[in-house]
Amino acid sequence: MATYDEIKRRKLKKLEMDQERLAQREKDRVLHIKATLDTKPPASYVYMGLKPPSSRDRASKIQEENRKLLDRLLAIDKGKARVDNRLIEHKPESHFSRQRERTAEKIVKENRELLRRIEEQQSHYDHRQTHRDYKQHADRVGKISKYPLWNGRGNEWRNY
């Protein structure tokens, strides 16, 4: 006949094995889950103005800058000799600055629309049904429990 300590050790060992088995099963399940998150960058569409500048655009911009430089050199050559000490403010602008501004404006607009939709949405949570479910669950637990349940009001105990 087994002693109390032996029975207790066996039950603890069985419980540990069950927990390890369940943990391993959960780990295997998590490892085999397929990803549902799309990590690809969003597609860029030409109609949205999101195409990269072509070599023609770049070449035409360089030609325009060269023409302006040549005009300035000709104006200097025709005029009398003087020192050009005026500060010309030059604001460097990248190719994508306007595109970034439009994209940022679009994102802000979409976020505002999404926030408006979220705020207008009504709750689907029915607290009365949840309370009824809780009462039904408590009654079932009370019926199958080994010990009486405290009902929370005064000194009343429910015996099942």
For the record, the structure tokens of 151 come out as 């009902």
For the record, the structure tokens of 18 come out as 């069950």
pTM: 0.26
* Each residue's pLDDT tens digit, 40-52: 777 666 565 555 6
Residue 120 · residue 131 · CB < 8 Å: no
* Each residue's pLDDT tens digit, 52-99: 656 777 888 889 999 999 988 888 778 776 666 676 776 677 777 888
Using alpha carbons only, how large is the chain's radius of gyration in Å? 38
Residue 123 · residue 140 · CB < 8 Å: no
* Each residue's pLDDT tens digit, 91-128: 677 777 888 889 999 999 999 999 999 999 887 888 88
